Structure 1
Amino acid sequence: MPRHPMNSPHPRRLAFLAICVTTAITLTACTADANGTKHSDDSHAKASTSPVPKGVVTTQEASKILTTYENTNNRANKARDAGLLATVESGVVNAQPRADYLQAKTWTKKEQAEYGSPFRYERREFAIPRKGTATWFAAQATATGSKDRALLIFDKVDGTYKLVMALYTDEKAPLPALAFDKSGFAEPADPAKPVGSLAPNQIGAAFEDLVETGGKKDGAKLASTPLTKAAVKLYTNRDKQDNSKYATNRYFAKPPKDPSVYALQLANGGVLAAFPTAHTGETMLRPAFMASYKINPSKREAVYNPSSRVVIVDEYQGQALAELSPTGKAHLISREYRMVDSR
């Protein structure tokens, strides 16, 4: 599989979209005059000379980019080669497997073998914006051995198309239909434009508010779903853990490594947004115990810092998918996290 789910504190479930792109074709119509002589209709002749709309990439180019990605990803996963993986990935989606590579030594032999197993993206479909409206495109595919669909977003980074978002969806719960223009191109949405109570670039902070405050601020603008309830549970159970007698457990929102948000118009008037999100988890000894005790890091935390200490701060980088409605609250569809550092 292209990703290893064991380190995610939340389920890696999502829902996706069936996407295709059509090619615009301009025809010249003919009419006949009183003598039966055929000639081109002037209005259609003019239309035939106008440029044929082009996408950010062609479908063939998009498929080639995806194939290059899966081949490189397979080689990088097998060798745990973070440098190689960085040639085809960027942002949060790259920070997550880099963490996997470092933490792999804490996994079982079976888990390590499964992570390095080659995969292919099958049942490919693409959502390609018109050239000039975006720099990126989306793909939907199913990885070998999985029933879940993957929503993959590729953007141009330093002149090369790289994977910048990868979210996995349950095909039994498909995403709402995307909006396409008359030429069959997907329609990007402005990440800064509010849709209902939130803009796409505000959902990440709203989601992290659930973890930090239990949803006392912008988190209240999100619809209640199993995913948002799980985030609130992290907050409400923060002082109900086994170590709570000796230490406090807190979560704090933080800026993601890459703030880029990707949004597409939906046929129902809403917007589908893929966005990054991040927080830290802090475990700190209570003052009465600081002089006599220290906290031992877990195996995964010890990968980054094996020292016992009075406070342990874990950094989590995530990505998520949500549907925004003009008339209702934003609905979180999926999210995926990795612990990427511990200090």
Structure 2
Amino acid sequence: MHRPPTRLRRRTVLAIGLTTAISLTACGSPTDAGAGPASPSASPTPKGVVDRSTAASVVDTYEKANNKANATRDAQLLGTVEAGQVHEQSKADYVAWDTWTKKRQKEYATPFFYRDRDYFIPAAGSGATWFAVTARSRQDPKAPRGLLIFDRVGGRYKMTAALELKGAPKIARDKHGFAVPADPSKKVGALAPDQIAESYEDYFETGGKTAKRYFAPTEESRESKKIYNDRNKGETGHWATTSYAGQKPSHPAVYALKLAGGGVLAVFPTAHPEKTILKPEHIYDAKITPGPAAAAFNSTPRIAVINTYEGQGLAELQPEAKAKVTALEYGLTGSK
């Protein structure tokens, strides 16, 4: 009894230690999101949290270490360049490796590289400790871009989030070319970036009775609601009941960037357990056998299977509109 592998486009965005290692070719000439030239009479241009050269080196190092780690499922090596929710998902991928098809294993272990990079570096003194990068996953110029976040963790920059960037949200830059971070605790419309996850998880818990007040319908919200509606259908529903409840993610960092039109683009962590429990009339004569993915963490047949899903999401917030969750990815990270 396990969740379908297509759950919310689960980790098929960019080759970053995720489910699918889509080939990206090398970097070309990254766009500098740092300081632009100052006029002779202007004050010295402020510095960014990093310069473009350093940011490019961070991404290059990530590519190299992640490719090597994926080849042998070396979680310790991966941990030198990756952290946060994306790392929780990557570590879980390594655990589940033997349950995958040979095709999926081959795709995952195929080396990748980021192309068409565009750097969004906040100014030093802005309060940000991180920078963002967008990159295209294929040579096709029409291919979607991904948004990558690199934050300072344990004294070095590591990737902490990676999501598909749908549409073309225009990230704001100040007069020096620096990205403008937003306060995650400040409301934009009905929600602040750090309130998105708790409000959104209502789709899984109730089908969106409360969430629909705050979120505009998107493909992600419809899929989330469908998971709730289908939770007790089929053979599983005959023997057991399944429920969801939001919980605190392992890594709570929220990243927010101002958009040129006045809104905010927010990267948020999220998590929930999926509890499947035998109905009272079957407790004494049946056991739940975990599906392959859950069994990689705990294969013991039992009367209740509680799977933990760690996720990351991307949302657009506008002052006069409902929030839109435009990307959402969960990974099975444990089972008990």
The verdict on a shared fold, with TM-score over 0.5 as the criterion, is: yes
> For residues 18-54 of structure 1, what are the alpha-carbon distances to aligned partners after superposition, in whole Å with 9 as ceiling and x for unaligned?
97525343444xxxxxxxxxxxxxxx4xx4xx44210
**Residue 9 of structure 2 corresponds to residue 11 of structure 1:** yes
- Rounded Cα–Cα distance in structure 1 between residues aligned with 2:193 and 2:253: 10
Q: Distance in 1 between matches of 2:39 and 2:325?
A: 44
* Structure showing greater Rg: 1
Structure 2 unaligned segments of length 5 or more: list them: 15-29
Q: Output the CA distance in 2 between the equivalents of 1:218 and 1:226.
A: 15
CA distance in 2, matches of 1:305, 1:23: 51
Is residue 23 of structure 1 aligned with residue 35 of structure 2? yes
Which residue does 2:278 correspond to in 1? 285
Find 1:70's aligned residue among 60, 63, 85. Answer: 63
Please give the alpha-carbon distance, in whole angstroms, between the structure 1 residues aligned to 2:13 and 2:187: 23
1:192 aligns with 2:190: no
Partner Cα distance (2:112, 2:61) in 1? 13
> When the two structures are superposed, what TM-score results if normalisation uses the length of structure 2?
0.89
Which residue of structure 1 aligns with residue 99 of structure 2?
106
Structure 2 CA distance for partners of 1:255 and 1:19, relative to 1, 3 Å = farther
* Structure 1 residues 328 and 27: CA distance shift in structure 2, 3 A: closer
In structure 2, how many angstroms separate the alpha carbons of the residues matched to 1:72 and 1:219? 41
Residues in 2 aligned to 1:334 and 1:185: alpha-carbon distance in whole angstroms: 25
| Whole-angstrom distance in 2 between the partners of 1:282 and 1:7 | 17
1:273 aligns with 2:266: yes
RMSD: 2.0
Q: Report the AA paired with residue 178 of structure 1.
A: I
Q: Does 1:308 align with 2:301?
A: yes
Q: How far apart in 2 are the matches of 1:200 and 1:113? A: 37
Provide, for residues 111-143 of structure 1, a one-character-per-residue CA deviation record: whole Å limited to 9, x for no partner: 111111101111111000000111100001123
Quote the Cα distance in structure 1 between the aligned partners of 2:291 and 2:230.
Answer: 19
Structure-1-length-normalised TM-score: 0.87
- Contact kept, 8 Å, 2:34 with 2:48, in 1: the verdict is no
Q: SS state of the match for residue 8, structure 2?
A: coil
C-alpha distance in 1 between matches for 2:13 and 2:210: 25
Query: Unpaired segments of 5 or more residues in structure 1?
Result: 1-5, 29-43
8 Å contact kept, 2:265–2:317: yes
- What residue number does 2:333 align with? 340
Pick closer, same or farther for the CA change 1:115–1:145 going to 2, 3 Å: farther
Q: In 1, Cα distance between the equivalents of 2:6 and 2:159?
A: 20
Segments ≥4 residues shifted beyond 6 Å: none
Cα pair distance change 1:112/1:14, threshold 3 Å: closer
For 1:1-343, what aligned pairs fall within 5 Å after superposition?
7=5, 9-12=7-10, 20-28=32-40, 44=41, 47=42, 50-133=43-126, 134-143=128-137, 147-170=143-166, 173-174=167-168, 176-343=169-336
Q: Distance in 2 between matches of 1:19 and 1:341?
A: 39
**What is the number of equivalent residue pairs in this alignment?**
314
SS at match of 1:101: helix
Q: Deviations over 1:135-158 (max 9, x none)?
A: 100001123578332210001011
Q: Identical aligned pairs, as a percentage? A: 44
